[in-house]
Amino acid sequence: MGTCEICQITIEKKYGTGRFCSKKCSCTYSSRINRLERNKKIKESLSSSRPHRFIEKTCPHCEMTFQKSWGRRNQKFCSKQCSAQSSGANPETQQKIREARIKSIEEGNIGFGIKCSFDGIRCDSVLEYAFIKWYKEKHPNSKIVRYPGKIDSHGIVFIPDFLIDDKIIVEVKYRKEAVSYQLGSKWSGYIELQKIKKEILFSLNPENIWFTDETCGQKFYRDCLNEVKSQQR
């Protein structure tokens, strides 16, 4: 008596040539052999038709030659820096980004910050929540709403955050030191832009408010942060 080549049990009853104990084991062996042969043929076919692993491209911004894998063959620029600089150098692209950003904000799709509300007023950050609470404590009968529209002045277009009693415009911003640290050096232009916005805001009305976390104080801001976090649990 022999041993089945598939299940390794002792063959008590001869089947076929005697190499297997049953039809099942015989078919399993045939399938395994055929599968190995098919896999080998498929591998050889794919290897011969597969393109090179890396392809060479030329960056349209810095004109440097770089290599990318086949899966990322559609990448246009050699780096994020070149992509950003190329977009920034194109006035049409800048305008499209600006218009898309304004439309997104008008629709309430801010995309950053902790979303919350105070007395039914939408807040897109804890600092906005802190402003409403801070102002309401000083002026409980005031009417605060999201600013309806946008300001377009001196080539700068932006949407303030709130409007108080239909006359006082409010812009809420974290202090510039924190912003510059969080956004990094490549966003240094952001700080200069905020200075221009602030000048425009007060030129429209000296009573307008430029609110930062320093306006209400760090302790007040941290208390508001804890309140918002507790509401979201």
Distance (Å, whole) CA 67 – CA 78: 8
Q: Are residues 121 and 225 in the same domain?
A: yes
Please give the angle made by the CA atoms of 74, 80 and 84, to the nearest 5 degrees: 105
pLDDT at 119 > cutoff 50 = yes
Q: Are residues 178 and 67 in the same domain?
A: no
Domain count, the chain: 3
Q: Are residues 171 and 128 in the same domain?
A: yes
Answer yes or no: is 69 within a domain. Answer: yes
pLDDT the model gives residue 209: 95
Q: Are residues 189 and 117 in the same domain?
A: yes
Q: Summarize pLDDT for 20-74 with one digit per residue, the tens.
A: 788 788 777 766 766 777 777 777 776 665 555 778 888 887 788 888 887 788 8
Answer yes or no: is 103 within a domain. Answer: no
pTM of the model: 0.51
- Report in angstroms the alpha-carbon separations of 89 from 53, 83, 84: 33, 10, 9
Answer yes or no: is 183 within a domain. Answer: yes
Q: What percent of the chain has pLDDT over 70?
A: 73
**Which residues form the domain of 58?**
54-85
Q: Are residues 36 and 128 in the same domain?
A: no
